[in-house]
Structure 1
Amino acid sequence: MTYDPVSANPLHGNPLKTRADVEKGLRDLFTPLLPYFSEGGARVRLDGAAAHFDRAAADLEGFARPLWGLTPLAAGGGAFDHWELYRRGLANGTDPDHPEYWGQVNGIDQRQVELAAIGFTMKMLPHLVWDPLPQRAKDNLAAYLKHARQFDYADNNWKFFRILVDLGLEQCGVDFDRSYTDKFLAELEGFYLGDGWYRDGNVRRIDHYIPFAMHFYGLIYSKLARGDAARAAEYQERARLFAQDIQHWFDEDGGTLAFGRSLTYRFACGGFWGALAFADVEALPWGVIKGHFLRHLRWWSKRPIANRDGVLSIGYGYPNLFMSESYNSAGSPYWALKAFLPLALPEDHPFWAAEEVAADFGSRPVPLRHPGMVMQHSPGNVVALSSGQQNWEMRAGAEKYAKLVYSSRYAFSVEVAERAYHLGAFDGVLAFSDDGRHYRMRETNEAARIAENCLYAHWKPWSDVDVETWLVPANHWHIRVHRIRTPRPLHATEGGFAIARADLNADTYIDEPGRAVARSATDISAILDLGGTRAGRAFRALPNTNLIAAKTIVPQLRGDIAAGETLLMTAAMALPAGNEAEAALQHPPHAPDLAALEALFAREGVDVSAILVPERF
């Protein structure tokens, strides 16, 4: 017998159908951390990899993030045997004279992020983490939090962190300057777009930080804050609106759209459903909310997301540093425990008492103006056609935000060899090269618009090359139309969806002019040239590029682009193997009428909200 990496996942084998199952899942996720607590309890160090912040802050991250799950557990009456360890850690981590001191905050600092969990715990469980402390430890903890909160926080969801700290200080009777709280609450309003959608700061991106940060913290505030009933009601009403849309970022099996940054937080993406329950907001029928929540946890229980000792890895569907951000330390993945917020609720709460309801999304495309997406549901998958988002400031930002299409089942790939054009995965991407070695893909947008179920973007891979792209849903397929204007010849590669590659090269595939098809035991992926004869290639991508499957095969179309104007028309699809996939493969869509598309956008096109912020350089 060989080692099965899925078996190390602490959720593996848990049916995750009841409150008791979820409680067991949380305990099983926490237990592997115990050997890594420092003697003084203040630090948790899980491996030797670094983040951009200092080691003390990373150790605090390992200490604090489990509290997002442990605090609701105890608040809901669940037993936890290690509160003394946490009290010791709080005392020592905030004691400047102790060797495990977390270090002083002197500006925007990762510590401000992690202190939010401590503020939340002080608010929910003062009898466990505050009242038993000796007075000196109380004074140190209060002083540490008050010092940290006086500095600016990053101009995004971080502003909620001061607010959560303030909830804890208020609960424990500590005096503080309330004007800081009011200032950040007011500034957060500047990120609200309407229809329940925020942006995560004044940036051209709208990602999972909206459900698992902006709404998550807002719903906690709406439940726990005192004397702010109007704002609490507003946060809850926005969450009701948002639920109608964000449910379409989930598929029928519980997978969520793999898109944007911080995906190593994994089932934090399900935290929004738990936060609705925590705040008693029945945005959808309770059985529907519960279904989204539990299916999401079950989806993750089937992935090899932990190291051999059961500690969650940096990565997404498996351990993978290629997809990580510079702010990911080994403790970062434990923001996933935000999903366990509904453990604060009793067994008879309507959320837990409801019968789980299966997903019923239908097959009609769902346009979402604010993130600039058109959602397409299919068996075990949701696909997002995407235009208007960008993030060039971080590693793999183009892959995380600016691809043409994203998926829950097939995720996306990050490139690992920027000087090896012919080895690029390029799934969901139109990539160009002018020298056969380097490449450019969409990174930023000059314009992005949505009309009915179609998207348009104008982008420039180089300053002298213009590309206009239209994206059109077509049942299980989608169509991409690209109008390229270039003063010099280029080479282009356009990719479909990456699917898991079989061992021993057992996949079957088709490489021929105008078409590439990849078949595995579980999936079929295809890309077609609707208006020409670009060369088809079912490409075996470099390992560990895709976020879900460590080895993939990607259908691609490749060809020369002459100087002047070129029009490309492409159809792509991927489905689980079976009759439905075979039928779709036999009935591809026809090339659309470009003049009709242009007329549609002239008549009904509106700007995608995500792009309505000046680009920052």
Structure 2
Amino acid sequence: MTYDPVTANPLHGNPLRTRADVEKALHDLFNPLLPFFSEGGARVRLDGAAAHFDRAAADLEGFARPLWGVTPLAAGGGAFDHWELYRRGLANGTDPDHPEYWGQVNSTDQRMVELAAIGFTMRLLPHLVWEPLEQRAKDNLAAYLKHARQFDFADNNWKFFRILVDLGLQECGVEFDRSLTEKYLGELDGFYLGDGWYRDGNIRRIDHYIPFAMHFYGLIYAKLARGDDKRVAAYKERARLFAKDIRHWFDEDGGTLAFGRSLTYRFACGGFWGALAFADVEALPWGEIKGQFMRHLRWWADKPMANRDGILSIGYGYPNLFMSESYNSAGSPYWALKAFLPLALPDDHPFWTAEEAPAVTSHEPVPLRHPGMVMMHTDRNVVALASGQQNWQMRHGTEKYAKFVYASRYGFSVEADERAYHQGAFDGALAFSDDGRHYRVRETNEVARIAGNTLFGRWKPWSDVDVETWLIPANPWHIRVHRITTPRALHATEGGFAIGRADMNADTYIDEIGRAVAKSKTDVSAIIDLGGLREGRAHRALPNTNLIVSKTIVPQLRGEIAAGTTVLVTAAMALPAGPSAEAALGRVPQAPDIADLEALFAREGVDVSAILVPERF
């Protein structure tokens, strides 16, 4: 029988309309893990791929991450038949004399991350995971958590992990040094920027860790903390502000902006909506919050994201190690179960009783100063024009943070070969080569500013080459203006949006002077040269480079850049196939005047928040 990767998806066929549907989805996601629990219950090993941390930590990750889903399920009265397995695992994993011992934390360690789920479970379900343990197991578990929490956690969202452990210790009556809790709560406030936005540490990076980590954990704290009313109120108010912005990272189908690191956590991106419900924060009407949550789960139901046995893969829309991080083990994707937090709520909670409301979208652009984006809702898609953030620590950090444009429907691509310039996808990017083999793209900005609905960045692909880039929305198109100053001749390739490619070349490719267009059965993507005669190429990108689909076409513009100063003006768009897409091809926007853009930024330009942190090398 032919393997069907879609039906291997545990969400396949689930309508995902009701609380019962969401419960079923959780069980269907968890059950494939059962054969992979170790005999002692403390470790879950799903394949042989490695992360940068040791195998014991990876096995703990596989054990702990499902707790983000099954703990709310049980807290809300749902049935889960495997608590004895988890109790056995907690006892053995924290027993230094047991062969499945997780290993001692002695510095910043991946184990710290996974202990947060255990602390969360101890806080919500002490009667299931703490009280039934024998005294020796209680002593070992308490000692393990207390030992780990004394070390420095990473200077970012990790600081919440100590706080979640502390919530569990407190609930179980274990004494600990509470000054360490207060220290991290204060330091987390130092990451807050205003208007509901945080940064994930003191770095040039504002990504999905803001909704699915900073706010997610903050809202859990707001629900479960005792005696910290001022901070609880602050967390709730920040979430209310944030919801009005982050809803523009989600499209009308439930897809979310593909941007940044850790996208293998998939529907964890919808965890923010569930956390609002968990904390009883009606930041938007309940129907809208529920609609965002349910649509996001449904968006994943037809993606070939699982392996044959129903185990979630490393990847995004399909199994893909190219896009993974060095800290992704086979258990990493199960942070997706953070989305199931609303199962802790009773059936009569207004989140569950509300009728789903459609997404709030607007044809007008939505500027977001803090992440340095201008959002555009197009048909079944959301587009982010991006000023360019910085992440040199992550694999493919440039592609994940520094492209000019990102989208929910079309994702983005990572490059497969840094020594194959003519094979590069370069979607949403401008690449230069001085030897026809190697290439440079934007990796960071010297300046990143926003003025109204327009973005500006100044960047250097080489130390002697300067590029100024303006990004302007023209829905469904967007315009890019690049002023390039170089002492030597270069070759340049600029890419539009990547769309799915059919087998047997059953697509339409238009390669012309000044434009390239790709048409598939489902989508149309185009890139137009508004100011010159670059050659158009509908490029068949290398396989497994795009996050959402494994084979893509990327319209590109290619040409020589002479020594001196050159101005390139580009329009790009992608839409679902149909009359609207064909009509848009006939309504190409006009090139703007650089003098007008410079005047705009002289009057109104302000620095993007993401750039206002010193670089770290």
Q: What's the TM-score bracket when you normalise by the shorter of the two chains?
A: over 0.9
- Name the SS of the counterpart of 2:412 in structure 1: coil
1:10 to 2:5 alignment: no
Match of 1:119 in 2: 119
Residue identity matched to 1:169: L
200-209 or 356-365, which moves further after superposition?
A: 356-365
Match of 2:463 in 1: 463
Match of 1:582 in 2: 582
Q: Distance in 2 between matches of 1:509 and 1:388?
A: 30
| C-alpha deviation, 1:456, in angstroms | 0.1
Residue identity matched to 1:289: I
| C-alpha deviation, 1:610, in angstroms | 0.4
| Residue correspondence of structure 1 range 35-434 to structure 2 within 5 A | 35-434=35-434
| C-alpha deviation, 1:350, in angstroms | 0.4
Residue identity matched to 2:509: Y
Q: Distance in 2 between matches of 1:325 and 1:362?
A: 34
Contact 1:204 1:390 in 2 (8 A): yes
Contact 2:247 2:360 in 1 (8 A): no
- Name the SS of the counterpart of 1:71 in structure 2: helix
1:452 to 2:452 alignment: yes
- Name the SS of the counterpart of 2:538 in structure 1: strand
Q: Distance in 1 between matches of 2:2 and 2:506?
A: 21
Contact 2:388 2:404 in 1 (8 A): no
Match of 2:506 in 1: 506
Match of 1:477 in 2: 477
Residue identity matched to 1:602: A
- Name the SS of the counterpart of 1:8 in structure 2: coil
| C-alpha deviation, 1:388, in angstroms | 3.6
Contact 2:92 2:101 in 1 (8 A): yes
Q: Distance in 2 between matches of 1:164 and 1:228?
A: 14
Contact 2:112 2:153 in 1 (8 A): yes
Q: Distance in 2 between matches of 1:360 and 1:218?
A: 25
Residue identity matched to 1:64: A
Residue identity matched to 1:194: G
Q: Distance in 1 between matches of 2:158 and 2:594?
A: 44
Contact 2:261 2:325 in 1 (8 A): yes
Contact 1:388 1:608 in 2 (8 A): no
Contact 2:528 2:570 in 1 (8 A): yes
Residue identity matched to 1:496: G
Runs of 4+ in 1 over 4 A off after TM superposition: none
Q: Distance in 1 between matches of 2:395 and 2:238?
A: 32
- Name the SS of the counterpart of 1:359 in structure 2: coil
Residue identity matched to 1:63: F
Contact 1:458 1:469 in 2 (8 A): yes
Q: Distance in 2 between matches of 1:394 and 1:462?
A: 21
Residue identity matched to 1:286: W
* TM-score normalised over the length of structure 2: 1.00
1:585-608 CA-to-partner distances (Å, cap 9, x unmatched) read 011001011111110000000000
| C-alpha deviation, 1:360, in angstroms | 3.0
Contact 1:258 1:406 in 2 (8 A): yes
Residue identity matched to 1:59: D
| C-alpha deviation, 1:379, in angstroms | 1.1
| C-alpha deviation, 1:3, in angstroms | 2.2
Q: Distance in 1 between matches of 2:545 and 2:262?
A: 16
Contact 1:388 1:449 in 2 (8 A): no
Residue identity matched to 1:318: Y
1:19-47 CA-to-partner distances (Å, cap 9, x unmatched) read 00000000000000000000000000000
- Name the SS of the counterpart of 1:146 in structure 2: helix
1:122-164 CA-to-partner distances (Å, cap 9, x unmatched) read 0000000000000000000000000000000000000000000
Q: Distance in 1 between matches of 2:41 and 2:616?
A: 42
Q: Distance in 2 between matches of 1:378 and 1:394?
A: 30
Percentage of pairs with the same residue:
84
Residue identity matched to 2:499: I
Q: Distance in 1 between matches of 2:408 and 2:136?
A: 50
Q: Distance in 2 between matches of 1:547 and 1:586?
A: 29
* TM-score normalised over the length of structure 1: 1.00
Q: Distance in 2 between matches of 1:540 and 1:154?
A: 40
How much is the aligned-residue C-alpha RMSD, in angstroms? Answer: 0.5
| C-alpha deviation, 1:2, in angstroms | 2.8
Match of 2:601 in 1: 601
- Name the SS of the counterpart of 2:74 in structure 1: helix
- Name the SS of the counterpart of 1:7 in structure 2: coil
Contact 1:204 1:388 in 2 (8 A): no
Q: Distance in 2 between matches of 1:7 and 1:447?
A: 47
1:533-588 CA-to-partner distances (Å, cap 9, x unmatched) read 00000000000000001000000000000000000000000000011101100110
- Name the SS of the counterpart of 1:168 in structure 2: helix
User: How many residue pairs align between the two structures?
Assistant: 617
